[in-house]
Chains A and B, each alone.
Chain A
Amino acid sequence: MTEKMIGIYICTGCDIGNCIDVQKLCDGVSEEYNPDVVQTRPSLCHAAGPDLIKNDIKEKDLNGVVIGACSHRFHNKTFSFDKEILTERVNLREQVAWSQEARNEDTQMLAEDLMRMGLAKIKSILNPKPYIPEDPSKNILVLGGGISGITAAIEGAKAGYEIILIEKEDMLGGWSNNLFKQIPLEPPFQEPQERIISEKILELQGNKNIHSFLSTNIEKISGEPGNFKVLLSKSGEQTSLKAGAIVLATGWKPYDANKLTHLSYNSSQDIITNIEFEKMANDGNIRIPSSGKDPKSVVFIQCAGSRDKGHLPYCSNYCCGTSLKQAKYLLNIFPETNVYIIYKDIRTPGHYEEFYKHLQNEERLFLTKGDVREINVNGGLEVDFQSDLFREEIRIDADLVVLAMGMTPSNSEDLNLAYRKGKGLPELKYSFPDSHFICFPYESRRTGIHAAGTARAPMDIPSSMEDAGGAMLKAIQCVEATGRGESVHPRSGDQSWPELYMQRCTDCKRCTEECPFGSYDETESGTPLPNPARCRRCGICLGACPERIINFSNFSINSVSEMIRAVHVPDEFEEKPRILAFVCENDAYPAFDMAGLKRLKYSSFVRIIPVRCIGSINKVWISDALSQGFDGIIQIGCKPGDDYQCHYIHGSELTEKRGENIQETLDKMMLESERIKTVFLEINEYDKIPDIINDYVEEIELVGMNPFKGM
């Protein structure tokens, strides 16, 4: 390892120079760390500043630069130099000049500590060397040959990628094959349009970049993005191939109508599902099943199983439009037939409203809001419902009842992942596999495997087709990023990855269990087998490992321990407590910056260390800090729970679970439990920061100084 040649650059602009004694700061840290260059500038971010640093790098062979200026969230490009140059930003603006008393002894101590921490860190890290799987594949595997899978394949192939499409049935098309027609998508939104699947299949078959495998199942998928080893089986015959990423488009199943006892599905063959009805329509044979006659009075019952806590608690999204479309079939074929639709709410968002409106004009279509109580089967069918619009109990005599069945996702275990964490994708809710469904709809907890269409959420055909495009893009992005040795979202572009010092591994399985992305597989004896291309670089495994053998080149047990040790902890009698704050870099850290921007003042006793996720906090740092004489440790992360905001799914939740272990540490050291505190902070709650910090400092002052000080 070449020796580090380090330059310190301190900006005195934006009040930094007014707030602290910069000269004293430089002198103090120089004495301790012997940097090769120490420079101050009134506005370091302006052209002369970066040029000066670049010049020093060249002239004085610097390979590390510590910049004491604004938060690292600003001027990234200004202060980015050659790839080999390690750059560390020390936040003297937001965390010192803008949030502390100017010209104050404690503020000066804070600034000096922060600089020391930066220096200590830069001395203990290395630039990452990217991990790239051997000969990474850029081919994309699409599982499922329905409308989503076909669209994904076509769109991906059009972008120039080789696509392998797997369908377990002997023909492409999936549910769409049973469709008679589709809801219209273009003005005037009046007549159901021809189904799109046929032309899509032709388009797919005409594309040389798409290789379809029919009647084929996935036997096993192992490996990692760029290098998924896929074992296929077709009537007993096995083939293996390699893929870079996967789109899961295995579609949906209708909810089991037999479970809808109040709708008497079992009691009459004239009560059918919308799937059965669509098939009759497609066969050109809409009849009353029992008599074979033309229906005269047909009732559609919406939300049959959907929006029902006893069945499917969610809305299946497609049923309102579908029933309107199916009603239109009937009205077109049988001009003398009355068609009724009983709904809870008609949900025709966007331009579907136009279709709804046009259909309403059908003379023999009758819509009303109502709760169907029961269907009496005695000869004919009597549908009894309570209607709010009529404000009375209504009975309709029907000869055919169609239940608008809800949608359930197919089983993602069809993937047959040979992963330690299971064969399929983890579920978020109601068997649908996704995670950050608002901001990052394609974020997958199995890197490189993206669910699309109804396998991901209930949706109709146009939505599925859009979704297929989105999932395919993410799959393509994954193979490209993997080829560059970079992480995908949320740490996009990060080339660091966890390296394990296996000699000291005790096979405790903590890393394999806690990794939210299933990066680690395991040998039979429980030894972790890392798959770095699956890794999203959150560092949760680093936080989990009791043996401290998991490290990133630029974020390690040692680098943080060094930062902790760099802090000068005053002795007990100075009555200056020190609080260590581990702050999530995604949300809490920006919140501290915003607090600074708002010039909110908080205690200068706090020393902030940003972490990738509070799940990446290793217990050893806590004992290090306590032995070092820190009086309290506060970990600030994102909200856990059902509506979690943690970018790594359960990173912040783990901190709570790990609390017990930490309690043990405290007990061992005979310290009070108040010395560790976890706070969940939303990014826009910057206004709460002064209270959080100051209250904690007060609490610690009440508990008293850490007895380990100066030991």
Chain B
Amino acid sequence: MEFTPDIGFIRKLKRNSKAPLKQCMQCGNCTVVCELSPVEYPYPRKEMQWAAWGLKDKLVTDPDIWLCHQCGDCSTYCPRGVKPADVLASLRQESIIHHAKPRWMGRLMSYPLFLPVALILPLAIIILILLLAGTLNTQVNPVNYGTFFPHAILNSTFGSLFLLTVIGMIFSIRSFWKDLKKSYPPDKAQKSFFKSFLEAIREIITHRKFNKCQTVKYRTYAHFLVFWGFVILLFVTLFAILSVIFWEYPIPLWNPIKIAGNIAFLMLFTGTSIMIFERIFNKEKAGNTVYFDWVFLIVFYLLILTGPVLEIARFTNWSGGYIWYILHLVLVWFIIIFLPYTKFAHMIYRTIAVAYLRYSGRK
């Protein structure tokens, strides 16, 4: 293997992770204290060596960075203070960009300068659609988002855009899959990928592995809340769509689904609040937070916050709700449509990586 260090990549990693990663002395302590690292070819010691040498190709195609839940044990105990957790986090950003289809989308989404575009573009498109639909009237009373943005148009617009996202994601997954197979050929595969996938899902929904983290316990709980809040809300949304088609809409407040939705909000709100709080006030343990993290976290947080505003506006018949609704849709766009290009993509890569680890027979 001929090695050519990529100095630019080292600089970028250092900048993003704020970790003195070159200082690694290759003791392997990080691998040891990591509760999630596999027995065979464990991480993150090897990643740290590649990082110190600027071996970009190896790193961005390395599936192991996705096994990491960034609990920070490795950083806490690192004898050299090189913060492997933060390095891996930066690498995951690079991996998302690397696998993004089209890749320029990934790259753009990681530039802070692109943020206004990423928000104004959806806003413009939504307003354009509303203008075309002729429903752009914020004075309609009582407040009814369904007439403001007719469900059929909403579902078809967002649906088709989401389809594009899914197609992009499929290509991303394909390239990720290739990396997986190249890195760890599934020679010893004992079971089908599907079975492994189910196991992985079980592991993820229980946060069983995540729970092993020692340094930042709160992260597990916060993520657990966010994860389940999101899942519940996903079902609530599905139900809402069905409800629009088959039953009544808006769903009454006493409906269990509505109640579940509100509980999910509380979960999401609490979880995300903890995450943001910890990232601001407990930097040492939470690890380094860069734009890539902030933009996702804050947009997600705003998205969550706009939910009850809409709900309250509807019940209080406050016409300002329409503006919030547009804002809400812009944020939904950012989170859902841009999923493969933001930190949200971790959901996909990590699930596949965890499933593949089981599938490949690697211990």
Contacts and interface: CB of A to CB of B under 8 A. Distances in A.
A and B touch in the complex (CB under 8 A): yes
Interface in A380-399: 389-397
A367 B14 CA distance: 17
Interface string B1-28: 1110101001100100000101111100
Nearest to B2: A395
A362 B25 CA distance: 13
B49 interface: yes
B26 A393 contact: no
B5 A366 contact: yes
A368 interface: yes
B25 A360 contact: yes
B80 interface: yes
A360 B53 contact: no
B268 to A, nearest CB: 41
A364 interface: yes
A363 interface: yes
A438 B47 CA distance: 42
B310 interface: no
Contacts of B3: 394-396
Given A389-B26, A392-B1, A363 B7 contact: yes
Given A357-B25, A365-B22, A390-B46, 19 more contacts: A338-B5, A346-B25, A356-B25, A357-B23, A360-B23, A360-B24, A361-B20, A361-B23, A362-B22, A364-B7, A366-B5, A367-B52, A390-B1, A390-B50, A391-B46, A393-B1, A395-B1, A396-B2, A396-B3
A366 B53 contact: yes
Contacts of A576: none
B49 A368 contact: yes
A140 B3 CA distance: 57
A61 B50 CA distance: 88
Q: Which of B2, B3, B46, B52 gathers the greatest number of chain A CB atoms within 10 Å?
A: B3
Interface string A385-426: 000011111111100000000000000000000000000000
Interface string B53-71: 1000000000000000000
A368 B53 contact: yes
A363 B11 contact: yes
Interface in B76-97: 80
Interface residues of B, number: 20
A356 B79 CA distance: 14
A286 B10 CA distance: 26
Contacts of A509: none
A390 B46 CA distance: 7
A542 B3 CA distance: 69
Contacts of B80: 357
Contacts of B53: 366, 368
A369 interface: yes
Nearest to B28: A389
Nearest to B80: A357
A363 B10 CA distance: 7
B40 to A, nearest CB: 11
Contacts of A393: 1
B16 to A, nearest CB: 15
A369 B27 CA distance: 11
Contacts of B50: 390
Contacts of B52: 360, 366-367
Given A395-B2, A396-B3, A363 B49 contact: no
A552 to B, nearest CB: 58
B300 to A, nearest CB: 35
Contacts of B25: 346, 356-357, 360
Contacts of A362: 22
Nearest to B48: A389
Nearest to A392: B1
B21 to A, nearest CB: 9
15 contacts: A360-B22, A360-B24, A361-B22, A363-B10, A363-B11, A364-B5, A364-B7, A366-B5, A368-B53, A391-B46, A394-B1, A394-B2, A394-B3, A396-B3, A397-B2
Nearest to A357: B23
A297 to B, nearest CB: 9
B22 A389 contact: no
A361 B7 CA distance: 13
Given A357-B80, A368-B49, A389-B49, A363 B2 contact: no
Contacts of B20: 361
Contacts of B49: 368, 389-390
B98 to A, nearest CB: 21
Interface in A533-561: none
A338 B20 CA distance: 18
Interface in A332-371: 338, 346, 356-357, 360-369
A363 B6 CA distance: 10
Nearest to A396: B3
